[in-house]
């Protein structure tokens, strides 16, 4: 029988070891490539899923700013309220799309005055879902209305003095023929609605949220309260409107205090304006007789 030499046996042994090592390396390389491909596929699927979710959320997202802008775009500059045109002229170009970053107008006097009508701007009431309300239409369709503004919901003075006074005297206002009492605050509708529930103002005072401070700026009632409330807020004011026309307007010098805009002062203004010497009752038959003759109800 043929015997292999020691050299041949050594070479064969080396070759066998090489073949085994090569198989092990190829197997390890295949496993590594398999896991790399799985990792790349997983990452690709994850990226595609995130893009799909983002595009879907963006397509269904409707912000208050977009809704308000679409509504207000219906009104051209020819039909726009004069106070809104003045506000646009005074607004700086920088931050034009960011109302909360704008500074208050330089003229400290309100744009709006007795004899004007309210600008047609959308405010929001309630929150499930928020109901858009055209502030001009709200008062234009009512015989007699009260509109007052304040810096913000859940603030100390507004929560202890200003709004509670109108809620408490709601029956007195109704007795004097007031159809609508509304409060404007620079907040989102969720905060303003919660504040209205907390103050028991439901079905008595309409809490209207001026989300973008657009209405407040358009009538010149914006004030810088960055130090106290972190942004532009509303001055403390009160007005009486008849068929959408402002007949009485008062503004506080200091928004952190209440005096002339309290419910008692507005009631006194109603009594003085509608009072007739022939009868102590401001809503007497003689008063309505004057209205039927188209005589001015104010002195």
User: Could you write out the three-class secondary structure of 96-157?
Assistant: CCCHHHCCCCCCCCCCCCCCCECCCCEEEECCCCCEEEEHHHHHHCCCEEEEEEECCCCCHH
Token pair of 299 as six digits = 């002195």
- Please say whether the beta carbons of 173 and 210 come within 8 A: no
Least confident stretch, 54-63, 125-134, 151-160, 275-284: 275-284
Q: What is the pLDDT of residue 144?
A: 93
Q: Is 285 a residue whose pLDDT tops 50?
A: no
Range ranked top by mean pLDDT from 16-20, 90-94, 113-117, 289-293: 113-117
User: With bands split at pLDDT 50, 70 and 90, how would you rate the model's confidence at 73?
Assistant: low
User: With bands split at pLDDT 50, 70 and 90, how would you rate the model's confidence at 57?
Assistant: low
Q: What is the pLDDT of residue 179?
A: 93
Three-class SS state of 237: strand
Mean pLDDT score, 263-273: 88
Q: What is the pLDDT of residue 276?
A: 36
pTM of the shown model: 0.58
Q: What is the pLDDT of residue 197?
A: 92
Mean pLDDT score, 232-242: 92
- Please say whether the beta carbons of 258 and 280 come within 8 A: no
Alpha carbons 100 and 257: distance in angstroms, whole number: 23
User: With bands split at pLDDT 50, 70 and 90, how would you rate the model's confidence at 2?
Assistant: low
The Cβ of residue 195 has, within 10 Å, a number of other Cβ atoms equal to 22
Q: Is 87 a residue whose pLDDT tops 60?
A: no
At 93, phi and psi to the nearest 5?
-65, -35
Alpha carbons 254 and 219: distance in angstroms, whole number: 18
Q: Is 102 a residue whose pLDDT tops 50?
A: no
List residues bridging with 246 in a β-sheet: 241
Mean pLDDT score, 173-179: 91
Token pair of 281 as six digits = 């009752």
Given 14, 21, 127, 158, which residue is catalytic?
158
Mean pLDDT score, 36-51: 88
Mean pLDDT score, 205-212: 93
Verify whether residue 158 is a known catalytic residue: yes
Q: What is the pLDDT of residue 59?
A: 54
224 vs 148, which has greater pLDDT?
A: 148
Least confident stretch, 33-37, 80-84, 124-128, 198-202: 80-84
Mean pLDDT score, 269-279: 59
The Cβ of residue 151 has, within 10 Å, a number of other Cβ atoms equal to 23
- Percent of the chain past pLDDT 90, that is, above it, reads 36
- DSSP H helical segments within the chain, as ranges? 6-60, 64-72, 82-90, 135-140, 156-157, 163-168, 170-175, 189-198, 214-218, 226-229, 263-274, 285-292
149 vs 272, which has greater pLDDT?
A: 149
Per-chain mean pLDDT for the chain: 77
Q: What is the pLDDT of residue 204?
A: 93
Token pair of 166 as six digits = 């109108």
CA distance from start to end of the chain:
140
- Percent of the chain past pLDDT 70, that is, above it, reads 72
Q: Is 262 a residue whose pLDDT tops 80?
A: yes
């Amino acid at each position: 029988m043929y015997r292999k030499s020691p050299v041949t046996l050594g070479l064969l042994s080396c070759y066998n070891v090489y073949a085994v090592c090569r198989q092990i390396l190829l197997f390890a390389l295949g496993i590594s490539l398999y896991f790399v491909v799985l990792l790349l596929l997983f990452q690709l699927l994850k990226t595609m899923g995130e893009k799909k979710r983002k595009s879907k959320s963006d397509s269904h997202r409707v912000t208050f700013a977009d809704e308000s802008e679409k509504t207000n775009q219906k009104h051209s500059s020819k039909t726009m309220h004069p106070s809104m045109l003045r506000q646009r002229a005074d607004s700086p170009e920088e931050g034009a799309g960011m109302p909360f970053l704008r500074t208050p107008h330089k003229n400290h006097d309100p744009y709006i005055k007795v004899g004007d009508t309210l600008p047609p701007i959308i405010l929001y009431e309630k929150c499930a879902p928020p109901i858009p309300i055209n502030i001009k239409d709200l008062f234009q369709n009512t015989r007699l209305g009260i509109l007052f503004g304040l810096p913000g919901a859940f603030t100390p003075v507004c929560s202890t003095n200003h709004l509670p006074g109108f809620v408490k005297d709601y029956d007195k206002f109704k007795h004097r023929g007031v159809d609508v009492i509304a409060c404007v605050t620079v907040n989102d509708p969720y905060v303003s609605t919660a504040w209205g529930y907390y103050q028991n103002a439901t079905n008595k005072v309409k809490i209207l949220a001026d989300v973008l401070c657009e209405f407040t700026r358009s009538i010149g009632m914006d004030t810088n309260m960055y130090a106290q409330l972190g942004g532009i807020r509303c001055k403390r004011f009160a007005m009486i409107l008849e068929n959408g026309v402002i007949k009485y307007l008062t503004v506080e010098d200091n928004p952190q205090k209440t005096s002339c805009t309290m419910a008692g002062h507005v009631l006194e203004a109603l009594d003085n304006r509608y009072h007739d010497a022939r009868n102590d009752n401001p809503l007497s038959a003689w008063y309505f007789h004057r209205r039927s003759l188209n005589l001015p109800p104010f002195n």
